[in-house]
Structure 1
Amino acid sequence: MTTDHEPDRSPESGGETGKPAPRRKTIDSPYIHRLQRRHFLLFDVLPIFGMVGAVAFLFVRPFGIVEFALLFGMWVVTGLGVTAGYHRLFTHRTFKAAPWVASVLAVMGSMAGQGAVVSWVALHRRHHEYSDRPGDPHSPNLSGAGWSGRLRGLMHSHFLWMRRHEYPNVVHYAPDLIKDRRLVRVARLYYWWVGLGLLIPTVLGGLLTMSWTGAVAGLLWGGFARMFLLEHTVWAINSFLHMFGTRAYESRENSHNGGIFALLTFGESWHNNHHAFPTSPSFGLHWYRLDPGYWLIKTLALLGLAWDLELPSDERMAAKRLSGKSTVGGNAAAA
């Protein structure tokens, strides 16, 4: 196993000095890489074929209101689970929520098929620690200069990095989560939750149409096509928005905003805002910027189910705001 700039010793080993060695930040083993390849094939590659199958199935059953409702409904449920649950609640602790609400958000995010909650959080916390520097699991900016390097970086950060990568040590990156027994139980059932996310639209499609074609259409559109579309919009934030877009605030990495995609990404495309203020539950930062993830959190707060929502003050935002006009593919500021 290897680590980043750390000795290859176990945490229990004292080495030559007899003192405990630093805890490994990453784990690199053949067993973990086999699990990563399996997950990559099942939940990253298979939805591509599912999307193709959904289009091909149009020759059997046209795309109608039932297919749209299942696709849109499951996309909203799982997308909000990722942004409000996986990202804003569990990774950055931007708010607190009732235990049952946290569990529901974890299940919603799990159905997206993007990894179990504890692993997802560990990976994303490592991304913030090393963003666009060696150690970042999915930076597009570390594959060389020129157009060939940029293209390799985009392919790596958008999709290929998930085939095999150093696994962040959850003991180091997510100690708060592994102490939460309720959340650990949800994480252990990850594959069941992904299956549930495929079963729900299948059953609903069959019941709403009272036909086998409706059930198959539900699986294809509400299941695999939904996973495909949500995955690639989330991955585009890791890839394209670390190369292109606008920058409103100073941050140490190359994050950009893509406000035009705010609704499509549930507010995640305010990516420079997020990197500048990672503890803010609102990524848009202002009421007039579209941020569905924050709308859900704010609704939960109004119902008394979420609390401790703290947005950065005007003074903090002013101190980090960049001057100048916005540009695409550069580091200039957004107005």
Structure 2
Amino acid sequence: MPASGSTSTSANTGTNASAGNDTCSNPTTPAYDGSAPFPVDGGPAPARSGSERVYIGVTAAIVVGPLLALGLAGWLLWGRLIHPVDVLLALALYTVTGLGVTVGFHRGLTHGGYTAVRPVRIALAVAGSMSFQGDVIGWVATHRRHHAFTDRPGDPHSPYRYGTRLRGQLRGLVHAHVGWLFRNDQTPAERYAPDLLADRDLRAVSRAFPALCVLTLALPFGLGWAIGGTWVHGLTALLWAGLVRIALLHHVTWSVNSLCHLVGERPFRTRRHDRATNLWPLALLSFGESWHNLHHADPPCARHGVDRGQLDPSAAVIRLFERLGWVHDVRWPAADRIAARRAA
């Protein structure tokens, strides 16, 4: 992506990946029939390096830490250590960081659903980074790879990795939801996100990811202390608006990877083996991302919930930004394109 702020290159990259470039797959890999477990690379597993052990340790802390916080929150709740400011801060930060992921990381940077002015592009990248879901360049590269190989060998988090029998599906559900994070299956950004690597602003945001993780926890602690007047208020805000908020957003995002490829409706045609679904119970919590079937049928579309009654808060935010002049060249759904993708 050029440093001027255009996302046109991102749009091309995201669209090509989502269109299914089968030439990316290994020509020596046996044809995938849609039901068998994914092929496993031959040869003995390499010994874990020190850096890989560090990666797995950090991942475990990020995944398990917020979950432990949920248990702690339940214990504290019995003592009524929750304040209105904790809830308000949690809602505010969940919304800001969640929209940073959905509007910024996903619909903008990954798929080029719109072109944002430079300050907005940077602000959304910062907000998304504060979700604790990884640095912006790595996130985008992984998601583009997911679209290039959806539910086929090469997909980093398909629930069909272990086949379509019951045991394989249960194992695949765990893999798609959280297990893939521990595989350290690196996605090369040079291949999947060269436009972001070429953008000096996004490189800076990517490098700042550890600091932004600290910030997303320091903010609720500092605001809770400042508003409540005691360090106890700071700690409860850290718990609810920091750790619990992160845990909830994590699992909503991971549910789009897992549940939205296993259960739900499929009113639109997708590529062969692509089983993306619409799952309405997650619509509000995911800011419209769980209208996943349409997204996989038309990835650059800036709105995912295109049918009557399908709430899509992310699309509403993009519409607001468009009216304010902060984004342009928005790829809104076209009636003919939507009709052409409907399942018979």
Report TM bin, short chain.
0.7 to 0.9
Q: Give the one of 230, 236, 246 matched to 1:211.
A: 230
* CA distance in structure 1 between the partners assigned to 2:339 and 2:109 by the alignment: 28
**Would the aligned equivalents of 1:94 and 1:310 in 2 still touch at CA under 8 Å?**
yes
Deviates more, 1:41-50 or 1:121-130: 41-50
Q: Which amino acid aligns with 1:104?
A: A
* CA distance in structure 1 between the partners assigned to 2:48 and 2:328 by the alignment: 40
1:309 is matched with 330
Deviates more, 1:285-294 or 1:173-182: 285-294
Match of 1:256, SS state, is: coil
**Would the aligned equivalents of 1:255 and 1:275 in 2 still touch at CA under 8 Å?**
yes
Q: Give the one of 114, 137, 154 matched to 2:133.
A: 114
Q: Deviations over 1:137-184 (max 9, x none)?
A: 000012133221111000000011101132111111000001100110
Deviates more, 1:150-159 or 1:49-58: 49-58
1:238 is matched with 257
**Would the aligned equivalents of 2:303 and 2:333 in 1 still touch at CA under 8 Å?**
no
Q: Deviations over 1:17-70 (max 9, x none)?
A: xxxxxxxxxxx9846633531331231111111222222222444323112111
Deviates more, 1:288-297 or 1:174-183: 288-297
Deviation at 1:6, TM superposition (A): 7.6
Distance 1:31 1:296, change over 3 A: farther
Aligned length: 301
What do you get for the CA RMSD once the two structures are aligned?
1.9
1:95 is matched with 114
* CA distance in structure 1 between the partners assigned to 2:331 and 2:229 by the alignment: 48
2:221 is matched with 202
Q: Which amino acid aligns with 2:69?
A: G
* CA distance in structure 2 between the partners assigned to 1:64 and 1:113 by the alignment: 24
Deviation at 1:295, TM superposition (A): 1.1
* 1:70-85 → structure 2 map (5 Å cutoff): 70-85=89-104
**Would the aligned equivalents of 1:74 and 1:222 in 2 still touch at CA under 8 Å?**
yes
Distance 1:239 1:250, change over 3 A: same
Match of 2:215, SS state, is: helix
**Percent identical:** 39
Query: Unpaired runs of 5+ in structure 2?
Result: 1-23, 29-46
Distance 1:214 1:153, change over 3 A: same
**Would the aligned equivalents of 1:33 and 1:164 in 2 still touch at CA under 8 Å?**
no
Higher relative contact order (CA 8 A, sep 6+): 2
Q: Give the one of 150, 154, 158 matched to 2:169.
A: 150
* CA distance in structure 2 between the partners assigned to 1:56 and 1:294 by the alignment: 37
1:23 is matched with none
* CA distance in structure 1 between the partners assigned to 2:159 and 2:51 by the alignment: 23
Q: TM-score, normalised by structure 1?
A: 0.86
Q: Which amino acid aligns with 1:217?
A: T
* CA distance in structure 2 between the partners assigned to 1:287 and 1:34 by the alignment: 48
Does 2:334 align with 1:298? no
* 1:1-335 → structure 2 map (5 Å cutoff): 5=26, 30=49, 33-252=52-271, 253-286=274-307, 288-323=309-344
Distance 1:212 1:166, change over 3 A: same
1:13 is matched with none
Q: TM-score, normalised by structure 2?
A: 0.83
Q: Which amino acid aligns with 2:248?
A: L
